[in-house]
A = this chain, B = another copy of it.
């Protein structure tokens, strides 16, 4: 009785979830402190929703799918083509998704899986503070204080992971949909000039429960 009361009082944390190791570990880090809900973005280009939902179930978290306007992906594709590299495009999508999620009245805290060593997406501190103030939400990146090696240590005792080339493994993030959109738009060869073809992706297979 006491325990369920404490749990119900926890603040909800909506964690942007790709089914990969970083967003999964972010959810595990927040789990003792927040009522974690996983959110996967889907632009309707790839069938990532059900894949992410299965992984969320395996992890033991509730899951929802956010369907942003396809125009966001189209604008990002245009940016990637103009730039010749995907960084600004991915940064743009990430910000649009954060803003969309923040507009939901149910959402008071947003988390993502960004790491200390990530180049993109990147949200500088003044922009974070302005985003939080403007939208009256909290935003956090639980892995921001950790490097790759520490993160791997945290993962190895908690998650079973598979790693494959992105061509083989469907990753449920907007990079996968942006890549697929560009395949259809400009073809594989031209797309691989923007995104490196060989690109290892991780996906969670199962959660190791130590209790």
Q: Which residues of A contact B (CB under 8 A)?
A: 3, 6-7, 9-11, 28-29, 32-34, 109, 114, 116-117, 125, 128-129, 132, 138-147, 149-150, 153-154, 157-158, 210-211
Contacts and interface: CB of A to CB of B under 8 A. Distances in A.
Nearest to A210: B6
Nearest to A2: B210
A42 B147 CA distance: 28
Nearest to A143: B145
A157 B114 contact: no
Contacts of A28: 32
A7 B146 CA distance: 21
Contacts of A149: 132, 138
Nearest to A149: B138
Contacts of A138: 147, 149-150, 153
A204 to B, nearest CB: 16
Protomer copies: 2
A128 B109 contact: no
B157 A33 contact: yes
B153 A33 contact: yes
Given A32-B32, A125-B116, A146 B140 contact: yes
For the complex of A and B, list the 10 residue pairs with the smallest distance between their C-beta atoms, beginning with the closest: A144-B145, A141-B145, A33-B154, A140-B146, A138-B150, A144-B144, A6-B210, A140-B150, A142-B145, A140-B145
30 contacts: A3-B211, A6-B157, A9-B157, A10-B157, A11-B153, A32-B32, A32-B158, A33-B153, A33-B154, A33-B157, A109-B150, A109-B153, A114-B145, A116-B128, A117-B125, A129-B147, A138-B147, A138-B149, A138-B150, A138-B153, A139-B147, A140-B145, A140-B146, A140-B147, A140-B150, A141-B145, A142-B146, A143-B145, A144-B145, A145-B145
